[in-house]
Amino acid sequence: MSKVLPDSFYTAMEALVPRYPTRVALLLPALHEAQKKYGWLPPEVLDEVAEFIKVHPAQVREVASFYTMYNLKVVGEHHLKVCTNVSCALRGADKILEHCEKRLGIKSGETTSDMKFTLAEEECLGACGTAPAMMLDDEYYENLDTQKIDRLIDRLGSAE
Amino acid sequence: MASETMFIQHFGNEEARSLNYYKNQMDGYSALKKALNLNPEDVIGEVKKSNLRGRGGAGFPTGVKWGFIPKKSDIPKYIVCNADESEPGTFKDRDLMRYTPHLVFEGMAIAGWAIGSSCGYIYIRGEYAREAKLLNQALDEAYQAGFLGKNIFGTGFDFDITVHRGAGAYICGEETGLLNSLEGKRGEPRVKPPFPAIAGAFGGPTVVNNVETLAAVPFIINRGGDWYSNLGKLENSGGTRLFCVSGHVKKPGLYELPAGSFTMRQLIYDYAGGILNDKKLKAVIPGGASSPVLTPDEIDVIVDIEPLMKAGTMLGSAATMVISEDYCVVKVLKRITYFFAHESCGQCTPCREGTAWMYSILKRILSGHGSERDIDMLSELAENIGGGKTLCALGDAAAGPVASFVRKFRPDFEAYVRGAKCRTV
């Protein structure tokens, strides 16, 4: 099997080995690190992670599928995750999500045809005092309104 | 009277997270030095005296928890910091980690000394990617200065901390779900006993404490358990706490206040500025999405662990969500129930099936296709899920809101059955 994960994956993982008493404890950190490569976890990546951890590939899939942050299907270049849980809902999250859907021309859970954006509804992000909030890739955006969303999408949409 | 605070004066200040600030402005790592000159039993004794109770939600006395750890163990013991902060409405640990990371590390190292552990993990929710990075930067500083690592202060005590990111699962805030996740498994809660104090992380005796709990420990060691205990206004509940207020208030945010020193009415109207747009209050969720709801008639209750328990709800993670008359409570409950259905790990049938069933009934009611029988069915389902019928507290967490919303706001549900349309736009 030819390797697809970069050397940086192996370097990062080897540095973590002494921090844990078991090798399988590296599974979550490994999946995070591996996901950096494509933004999602295609089957060959999951297999390579299994080989590195020295567990059966089924065990890797069993774990990866439990957690929402591991993308087992392809996602767009940018991932918008709008919190719609109680505190955000009370502060207008539904309108924020609706506005994103309109702007991107997709429904929550879908990806634009140019593979630029994936939109999703998110559970509580822990930013309730600054609601409504969302995540864009790894960053938080808080105290949202529709203008802020427009500016963000304009900036990302025009960046090549 | 303005009361003393430990944390909040440092929040919002980017410089606060540096080791220099921590050493110069907050006596950083002096409590660890002091603790390392005490017997571990005396450290535990001081924490017991402080009446510090777990800030994650359960409110268990921290010193007692530490005291459960066996002195002798053939395998390593562990200190795990629960930074999974995912109870809806809760946003305090994020600021503690962003602005006062060294407080958390120092608290963990003191806990390590107290129970005889030299290995700590901070299990941080995956979404807090930025906070995980900040923690790692702060860890580098602490290691370089010799406050963590080998032979701390030349005492022979070693303590390591590793930041471990979760990956999006509410259930990993449950301590045994968290431990499974730390071990590289699905975050499914374990059958208890054995409790983590006997067999926790990697099979070793383990203390799992919330971020805010651990951040209080350096203050307790430096200023004494009695001092900390007296900050709280009720018996058996010491210290100040970070109260998270969100929803329809004029000033949402964090408030650090002495435990038990105010009522819910004061929290909403005096501290948080009252209801947004001067609307009327409709409902209050006092302690995160899992806590049963309070009506406007019930808000003269003291905001602390025991008074809220007596009022039939709970303080939980001190996450108060305020709902004004403009927002539909049935819609709020539908959102809460969707959350629990989504986050149920699926191991226990009552929780897995019951939460999804309650959600579909609520959807039916809101869409105008519900019946009186559906409203009763919600209460029945809540009864059949809650009451300790599941391995962990998620079942109860899902049942409590449903039972309380239906009981206290039944006319709102009945209005839908009679053909009303949702007035929340």
Partner-chain contact A138 B129, CB within 8 Å: yes
Q: Count CB neighbours of B9 within 10 A.
A: 14
Interval B277-315: pLDDT, tens: 999 999 999 999 999 999 999 999 999 999 999 999 999
How far apart, in whole angstroms, are the C-alpha atoms of residue B14 and residue B80? 26
Yes or no, beta carbons of A86 and B332 under 8 Å apart: yes
CA distance A108 to A98: 9
Query: What pLDDT score was predicted for residue B420?
Result: 87
Cα Rg, chain A, nearest whole Å: 18
Contacts of B125 in chain A (CB under 8 A): 126
Question: What is the reported pLDDT for B3?
Answer: 79
B157 forms beta bridges with B152
Q: What is the pLDDT of residue B1?
A: 45
Query: Quick one: tokens of A14?
Result: 């080897």
Residues 6 or more apart in contact with residue B177 via CB below 8 angstroms: B169, B171, B187, B188, B189, B190, B345, B392
Mean pLDDT of B389-393: 95
Task: Summarize the confidence of residues B367-390 as an average pLDDT.
Answer: 96
Amino acid at A74: V
Strands A117-122 and A134-136, by their bridges, are unpaired
CB contact under 8 A, A127 and B94: yes
- CA–CA–CA angle A79, B84, B399 (5° rounding): 100
Q: What is the pLDDT of residues B53-68, one digit of tens each?
A: 999 999 999 999 999 9
Query: Quick one: which H or E segment has residue B200?
Result: none
Question: Which of these, B148, B171, B187, lies nearest to B87 by C-alpha position?
Answer: B171
Q: Which residues of B touch A66 (CB under 8 A)?
A: 169, 186-188, 345
Whether B2 shows a pLDDT value over 70: the answer reads no
Residue-level pLDDT at A1: 63
In this predicted structure, the answer to whether residue B98 has a pLDDT above a threshold of 90 is yes
Is B372's pLDDT higher than 90?
A: yes
B408-417 pLDDT per residue, tens: 999 999 999 9
Of B93, B202, B289, the CB nearest to A86: B289
Count of CB atoms situated within 10 Å of the CB of B107: 28
Query: Mean pLDDT throughout A78-98?
Result: 97
Mean pLDDT of chain A: 96
pLDDT at B217: 98
CA distance linking residue B16 with residue A33, whole number of Å? 29
Q: Which residue has the tokens 């736009």?
A: B425
Which among B88, B167, B332 has CB closest to A28? B167
Nearest-by-Cβ selection for B246 from A20, A53, A131: A131
The closest CB to that of B184, out of A63, A69, A131, belongs to: A63
What is the spatial distance between Cα B161 and Cα B377, in angstroms, rounded to a whole number? 48
Give me B199's structure tokens.
């067999």
Mutation target among B163, B329, B334, B335 for the A interface, most CBs of A within 10 A: B335
Which residues face B240 on adjacent strands? B258
Q: Give per-residue pLDDT as tens, B21-43.
A: 999 999 999 999 999 999 999 99
Q: Which helix (H) or strand (E) holds A121?
A: strand A117-122
pLDDT at B423: 73
Determine the pLDDT at residue B421.
84
For residue B320, the surrounding DSSP H or E stretch is: strand B319-324
**Distance in angstroms (rounded) separating the CA atoms of residues B225 and A121:** 44
pLDDT exceeds cutoff 80 at A160:
no
**Would you state the pLDDT for residue A159?**
59
A90: which chain B residues are within 8 Å (Cβ-Cβ)?
246-248, 321-323, 327, 332
Q: How far apart are CA B174 and CA A119, in angstroms?
A: 28
A68 contacts on B by Cβ (under 8 Å): 167-169
Cβ-contact A100, A145 below 8 angstroms: no
pLDDT of residue B146: 98
pLDDT tens, A103-157? Answer: 999 999 999 999 999 999 999 999 999 999 999 999 999 999 999 999 999 999 8
Tokens standing for residue B65: 């928890």
Q: What per-residue string of b and e applies to B322-353 under the rule 16 or more CB within 10 Å gives b?
A: bbbebbbbbbbbbbbbbbbbebbbebbebbbb
**Is the model's pLDDT at A74 over the cut of 50?**
yes
Using the structure block, give the residue that is written with the tokens 């949702």. Answer: B422
Q: Rounded to the nearest 5 degrees, what angle is found at the Cα of B28, between the Cα atoms of B175 and A125?
A: 40
Element containing residue B238 per DSSP (H, E): none
Question: How far apart are alpha carbons B98 and B138 in whole angstroms?
Answer: 10
State the pairing for strand pair B206-210/B78-83: parallel
Burial A108-126 (b: 16+ CB within 10 A, else e): beebbeeeebbbbbbbbbb
Nearest CA in chain A to B332: A86
The CA distances from residue B228 to A84, B58, B61, in Å, are 38, 19, 13
Find how far residue B226's CA is from the centre of its chain: 24
> Residue A139: its chain B contacts at CB < 8 A?
129-130
Give me the residues paired with residue B320 across strands: B245
